[in-house]
Every structure is written in C-alpha cells, then in structure tokens.
Structure 1
Amino acid sequence: MQHATKDSYPLILARSFAVIALFAVPLSTAGVNIAATLFAVCALLSPEVWRNWRSLFTDRVSAAALLLAAVLTLSLAWTTADRVHALDFLMKYRKLIYLPLLVLTFRDCRTTAWTTAAKWALFSALTFLLLLSCSNYFGWTSIGPWHSNTDPIRRAWVFKDHIAAGIMMALLFYLALNFAKHARARAAKMALYAVALLAIVNVLLMMQGRTGQIIAILFILIYVVTYFTSLRGVKPWVRWGSGVVLVAIAGGLVYAALHSHGSRLAETNDEISAYETSNKNTSMGVRIVFYRRSLELLAERPIIGHGVGTVQYEFDAYARNNTGAAAATAGNPHNEFLLMGIQLGAVGIALFVFLLVQIGRTAIELSEPARTIVFAYLFAFTIGCFANSLLLNFTEGNLFIFLIGIFLSCRKGTPAQA
C-alpha cells in the first residue's frame, strides 16, 4: 500500500491483523482470538499509537467505550456474584478495550486502502458463509460444528448458530443491495443482486433465526422506501412498474417467512400462548420469564445494579423450586439493555446507549461506503440487542467492535486510494 513506507511496521501489522480478525468473525472463533491478540500486541508496539494516546479522551466513541468498560470493572466492588465467575464474565467485555485501540490504530490512515480491504474481506467472508449455509441446507455438504443433518432447525447452520448467522445474513443482504446500486460493471451488479437475493432467502426461509428475520424485514422496508425516493424524476411508468415488481418480491418473501411450515417467526404466537396457558418451556416463553425477572432485579437496585456477572446467580434463585419455563435459567437475560441494567442499573443502560449514540454521531461524518456499512450494522446490532445480549456474545460483539473500529477511520476528506 502506498503509505507502507511511512508507517511503522508494527502499525502495518496491527492494521493487517485487525482486518484479518474482521474476516474471521463469521468463520472461526479461534481465528478471531488469535488475530485480535496479535492486533493488540502490534498496536501496543506501534509508536504512532502511543503518540496519539491523548485522543482517547477527545474521541467520543473511544471515551464512551472506555467509560463503559471502566464502570463494568468497578462493579466488581459491589457484585453479588462469586468473584471468580464475575471476573470471567467481565472478560467477555474485554472486546470494549479493542475499540479505542482500533480507533488509534486507524486514526491517521492516509488512504482508504485499509477500509477497502476490510470491506471486501467482510463481504467475502459473509458470502462464503452464505454459500456453505445454502449447501448444507440442500444436503450437498455437511460442513461446520453447528450443522446437523438430523435436526431440521440446524440444517443451514455452519460455523455459527441461527442468531449470529441470521444477523450476519441480514447484514449481507443489505450490503449487497447497496454495493450493487453503486457498481459500475453490469456483471458485478448482477452478481451482487444475486448474493442479495440468496442472502434474503437464506435468512427468511433457511436459517430460522427470528432476530435475523426481523432485521431482514426491516432492511427490506428501508430499501423499498429508499428505492422509491431515488426514483424521483424518473418516468412514472418506469417508477411504478419497477416498484410493483420490487414490492411483490419483497412481500412474497416476507409472507413466506411469516407463514411457511416450520418457520420460527410464524411460531411466535403459538410459543407465547403455550407459555401463558401451560407454562411450557418455549423460546419465547423463556424470554418473557427472563424479561420479567430482569425488571424485578432492576427495581431492586435501580441506580448501580447488582454488579458484573450477577445474572446467573440471581436467575438461579428465581428458578429454584419452579417448573416449566419458570424453571429456566441462564447467564444473561437475552437482552443487552436489561443485562446492563441488572449489572449496572440505570447508569449501565445510559452508558450503553451513550456508546451507541456516539457511534451514530460519528458515522454521520463518514464517507461512503463506510457510512452505509457502519449504519447498517449499528441498526442491526441495536435492534438485535432488544432480543439478545449481542455485546456480550462473541460473534456479534466482535463483529460490532472490529467493524466499527476500522470503518470509523474513513472520515470525509480522507484521500482516496491511489
């Protein structure tokens, strides 16, 4: 790359390992751990990172991430959980430290070469995962530790479960549509539209992850609205003709997701009814139980919470001597906002929302396509956090950190790649 002779070798290696970590997120847990560790080591050896350390306190995203990580660490002083368990749980949030380190590492990029590499690394990894998922679903292959030929729900799984993979396929769908819109070559445009179509079919009909399905449907609505907005000034018959085709395709896919046999999205009402009438241990029933417990725990300590890692201990106490869904327990309530509330009270929820808002504010300043990439996953991540603890989760959390950390460097005015 053009600026390789000007940047130190540790900085170049740090940026390289960050891109590799982003590429590995959809495919390999071990790959992410290795690449992320090497990124951190090389970043800390880079003189450029130490030269700019004061910007940690002036960059709003870095400051928000460090503040949330600091309060989580301080909550060890009042946690009601076992100290060893609390420390282990805290380590799952260590990815927050990577965010300011990524901002420092990519801070003075002189070209968009690194973000271009990151863009296609992520897109290629997601597309590869999509192809393997479809191949597994049709029985052509049996690849991946999460795949099962006997369990119909896991037929399309590869390296990740339906929640993580569903969210990533929804993201791939939206990115492929956006990239296709700006592609110049006709062949590239058609290939990207094909990826988008395959991705939306995968997430709505194959993967069976409700979170991913909801996000995908919202992405469809966003795309339809922006599509009609972009056709202002076009001949009416072209606008309405293409619009009818687009709405018909989108509506058909959404209808199939809501009504097809075995669709978990279609089973939502049945699961809630089964829980309410017979305390049946269903996925939606357990979530309702967890959310009610979380609100009760939040009411007990509304300001600073129960401390990091306390959910398992508190949920076990609630589940004791109960049956069915009421006996369910877990280490998190499947909602990142409630998880922060239990651990850190209103302070934790405010800090988490503050982090999301600061990322959004900074993303406005980005040039394309970085702005679309950041906003797309920020939207998916925020929606997903209402039904899952995504910052805590390995795959979704690391994708959030490395995607945001790398692409936030693409501010307007960054020189283009030579």
Structure 2
Amino acid sequence: MALHCSIMASARQIRPRMLNVDLIAVVVAALLPWSTSGVSIGMVVWLAALAATLELRPFLRSLQRPISALPIALVALAVAGTLWSDASWGARLYALSPATKLLVLPFLFYHFERSTRGMWVFVGFLVSCALLTVMSWLVAIDPSLSLKAPGEAGGHGIFVKNYIAQSQEFVLCTVVLAFPIFTLLRDGKIRQALLLTAVAASFILNMAFVIVSRTALVTLPIMLVVFAMAHLRWRTNVLLFIAAVVLGALAWTLSPQLQATTDKFSREYRIYKEFNEPTSIGLRLEFWEKSLRFFAEAPVIGHGTGSTRRLFEAAATGPAALAQGAVIGNPHNQTLNVAVQWGAVGVVILYAMWFSHFSMFRRAGLAAWIGLMVVLQNVFSSLFNSHLFDFHEGWMYVLGVGVAGGMVLRARSEAAESSRA
C-alpha cells in the first residue's frame, strides 16, 4: 500500500508527460498484429519516454514484487546459462534475446499502476485486429493482396505474419469480448452488446472459413469454458454447451478449411508413424521425446543457453528428410525449451512466474479478465509451441499482462483506500 501511495504521488507531478507514454503504448499495441520491426522500435521509444517520468526509488521498490522479480530472475538465469553452455557465443546470445522482452514487464506494471489509460491500449489492439480480419478476407478472395512473398510460409488468407500469430490474436479478442458482452446484456444495454457480438463473430467466422491454427482450435474452447465457469450459472452453461456443439458441428460441416485443419491431426500422425515423414505432429513428438532425454542428462541447471540446436544435431539419426534426422533450436514446448537449457531451476521459475501473474488476475473486472485470458492462452498454447519466447506471442503476453497488471494493481489499491476512508 505504501508503495502504491509513493507511485501515485510521483504520478501526480508528471501527469502531462505520462500521456505521451500512454499514446506510444497504444501505437505499439495497434502495430503488433501487423509489424515486427514496428513493435521493436516502438518499445524502445516507449522505454525512452517512460524514462522521463520514472521515479527511481518507487520503481526499485516495485521490483521486489514477485510479479516483477520472477521475470527478472528467469532472464538472469538465461544470462547465467551462457556460462555453462557449449554452444558458440553467437548461438548463446541468439537464444538469450527472446527472453529479454520479459524485462519490460516491471516497467509496464509500474507505469500503468499510475496511468488511467490502460484500456486505451487494449482498444487499440482490438481495433487493429478487427481491421486485420477485413484484410484476411480480402486476401482470401485475392491472394495477390498479401504482403507475403509467393510460396512463403504463412497460410491462405494471411496478409502479414502467419496463420498461427493471426489465430492467437483472434482467439484472444474473441474470448476477452465475452466479458463486456455478458456485462452489457446483464445491464440491459442490448445495442452495445450486439455490436461487440458482431465483432467477436467476425473473428470466429474468419477462423472457421478462412484459416485457423490447430493450437487455436485447442485453446479457444478451454478459454471459453473458463469464462462460463467463472461468470455463468450451470443451467446457462448446459444450454451454451449444447448450442456450441450444434454450431461447431454446423461450422465444421460448412467449412472445408475447418475440416482440413481437424483432419490433419490424425493424417499427420499416421504418416509419421507409418513412413517416418516429418509431419508437424510427428516432428513435435520427436522433439519432445529427445528434449526429455536432454533434460534427464542435466536435470538441475540444464545444458546452458543456446545449447538446444547442438543437442539435436548430436541426436539426429538418418537423413534430414526423415523425422529422426530433423534438427531444431526450439522443441515447440515452452516447458521443454526452458528445461533443456536451464533445467529444473528454470522450470520452477517459469511456473512460479505464470502462477504469480495468474493469481494477480483472480478478481472481478475487465482488466483482470483480460490479464487472466492472456496468461491462460500463453500457458495452454505453450504446450505446443514456445510462445513465451516467440516474438509475436511473447509480446502479446508482455503487453497484455503488463498493462492489465498495472490496471489491477491500481484498482486494488484504490479499493483499499476507499475501504479505509
């Protein structure tokens, strides 16, 4: 509480300069669905602008909170891991880079605990994703509109980036919108609720009839179940479950794209087992099995930062065209990615960080709901990818948790002040 009072006192003195910091954050969030370099440059500009408003003593005190200390600890472990790695220094530094974005979290917590404009950031991201659905439909109709080079990996209906990143954005927007839609319906604001429902439906229709990742197909139902359990009565949940099954079956029947995506699960597994071909599912099984062996060889502190590719090269058997011969620097699982490089120590810090952020959002309110969904999406999607360290999904986590976390910390402290008044 004393920390929050100190932070708020400094905020009142520098409020005019804080607006610039907020607006830059909105721009970064709006750029995230479209540009990698734009986000990188934008975050550097944001940190520079924040420096002009930062009060050193309150900020340093805020670093003692687990929500800030644990991301720092994970990055510190990655830095220390360069010392016992056998990889080249280029590989060590390359593997260290994806983790460093977590260092921005404490700055986001600190700033948006002072600011009242955190919701602007999320509105900017939502509007940007809504515009991306329009471009996705246009590209699906006319592929020449895509900014992807011909034959470049991305997917049907992809204007920029790739179908996995796009699906992650659309899933998050869809589930987050469930909260305000429910709130507006409960308050009798039907027109506003229908408007947000139409926006959410645009994301769902795009995923059903244009393109969707298999990770999104798994995480979307889980996140919707969490919403239903948290906010709806059991009778409503039963009716919604029946409706979801019917609509899901109808969408699958009408959408060749959705059928092809779901059919890939069994077809790719069968091809991998029978012909040893490097299908997506087959490669993941190979990566996970070998990563578990690597972890068993160095279970406490791992093999060191950047060691993953060298380990896969040593374990490859047969030609690279076969699944057993595939070499990669990322095992497509966040836990295994950490375990191979930094052992059980890294896994404990990773899960402690996820849990501390999850616990922060176990309260009422839209900001808490946004933060909770960001954490859950990252945790579940990281079963199939290393999304915390991937550029796009990693920044979704950092911005989502950082901004929502600051808003929740501010609301919590204001509520405590009101109860004592």
TM-score range, shorter chain: 0.7 to 0.9
Task: Tell me what 1:53 maps to.
Answer: 59
Cα distance in 2 for residues equivalent to 1:241 and 1:363: 28
The yes-or-no answer on 1:389 pairing with 2:393 is no
Contact 2:82/2:304 (8 A) holds in 1: yes
Query: Which amino acid letter does the alignment assign opposite residue 92 of structure 2?
Result: A
The CA RMSD measured in Å over matched residues stands at 2.8
Residue 272 (1) aligns with residue 294 (2): no
Aligned to 2:419: none
Residue-by-residue CA offset, 1:22-61 (whole Å, 9 max, x unaligned)? 221111112101110011122233243x131332443211
Q: State the partner residue of 2:7.
A: none
Amino acid at match of 1:198: S
Per the alignment, residue 33 of structure 2 pairs with 26
**SS in structure 2 opposite 1:189?**
helix
| SS of residue paired to 2:99 | coil
Contact 1:147 1:155 in 2 (8 A): no
Task: Select which of 345, 348, 352 maps to 1:354.
Answer: 352
Residue 107 of structure 1 deviates from its aligned partner by: 2.6
For each residue in 1:152-184, what CA deviation from the matched residue of structure 2 results, as whole angstroms up to 9, or x when unmatched? 972211222121111111112112332222336
1:408/1:227 CA distance change after superposition, 3 Å: closer
CA contact (8 A) 2:308 2:328 kept: yes
What is the 5 A alignment of 1:310-329? 310-319=307-316, 321-322=318-319, 323-329=321-327
Question: Aligned AA for 1:340?
Answer: V
Q: C-alpha displacement at 1:202, in angstroms? A: 2.1
Instruction: Give the one of 198, 211, 217 matched to 2:215.
Output: 211
Q: Tell me how far 1:375 sits from its aligned partner.
A: 1.0
In the alignment, residue 44 of structure 1 is paired with which amino acid? A
Aligned match of 1:235: none
Contact in 2 for aligned 1:136/1:142 (Cα 8 Å): yes
SS for the counterpart of 1:155 is coil
Asked if the contact 1:228/1:243 (under 8 Å) is kept, the reply is no
In 2, Cα distance between the equivalents of 1:153 and 1:410?
Answer: 35
- In structure 2, the CA distance between the partners of 1:173 and 1:255, relative to structure 1 (3 Å rule), is farther
| Residues 194 and 126 of structure 1, relative CA distance in 2, 3 Å threshold | same
**Aligned match for 2:403, one of 395, 398, 406:** 406
- Alignment CA distance shift 1:159-1:190 (3 Å): same
* Contact preservation (8 Å) 1:309, 1:343: yes
In structure 2, distance between residues paired with 1:361 and 1:8: 30
Shift of 1:240: 8.1
Alpha-carbon distance in structure 1 between the residues aligned to 2:176 and 2:139: 23
Change beyond 3 A, Cα 1:280–1:11: same
Match of 1:76 in 2: 82
Tell me the CA shift for residue 188 of structure 1: 2.7
Are the counterparts in 1 of residues 337 and 386 from structure 2 also a CA contact under 8 Å?
yes
Taking the aligned partners of 2:310 and 2:16, their CA distance within structure 1 comes to 46
Contact kept? 2:316, 2:327, Cα under 8 Å: yes
**TM-fit CA distance, 1:376:** 1.1
* 1:236-268 superposed Cα distances (whole Å, 9 cap, x missing partner): xxx9877754552244336767x8676223211
Does residue 342 of structure 2 align to residue 344 of structure 1? Answer: yes
Partner of 2:91: 85
Q: CA deviation at 1:147?
A: 7.3
TM-score (norm 1): 0.87
CA 1:152–1:36 in 2, change beyond 3 Å: closer, same or farther?
A: closer
Structure 1 partner of 2:160: 159
Q: Deviations over 1:327-352 (max 9, x none)?
A: 21222011111000001001111111
CA separation of 1:206 and 1:224: change in aligned 2, threshold 3 A: farther
Please point out which of 43, 49, 58 is paired with 2:50: 43
Distance 1:243 1:85, change over 3 A: closer
2:37 is matched by which residue type in structure 1? A
Structure 1 counterpart of 2:169? 168
1:225 to 1:92, Cα distance in 2 relative to 1, 3 A: closer
Are 1:305 and 1:341, in contact at CA under 8 Å, matched by a contact in 2? Answer: yes
Do 1:167 and 1:215's aligned partners in 2 also have CA atoms closer than 8 Å?
no
How far residue 223 of structure 1 moved from its aligned partner, in angstroms, is: 5.0
CA contact 2:140–2:210 (8 Å) conserved in 1 = yes
Could you say which structure has the higher helix fraction? 2
| Structure 2: tracts of 5 or more residues without a match | 1-9, 416-421
CA distance 1:152–1:252, change in 2 (3 Å): farther
1:13 and 2:20 matched: yes
- Provide TM-score, normalisation by structure 2: 0.86
- Is this contact kept in 2: 1:147–1:154, CA < 8 A? no
Contact preservation (8 Å) 1:78, 1:306:
yes
Partner of 2:373, secondary structure, is helix
How far apart are residue 390 of structure 1 and its match? 0.5
Amino acid at match of 1:96: L
Distance in 1, Cα, partners of 2:178 & 2:258 = 28
Partner residue, 1:283: 280
State the partner residue of 1:236.
none
Q: How many residues align?
A: 400
Q: Identity percentage over the alignment?
A: 22
Q: Deviations 1:50-97 (Å, cap 9, x if unpaired)?
A: 131332443211011111111111111101211122112212221011
Instruction: Measure, in 2, the Cα distance between the counterparts of 1:398 and 1:118.
Output: 13
| 1:373 aligned residue (370, 374, 378) | 370
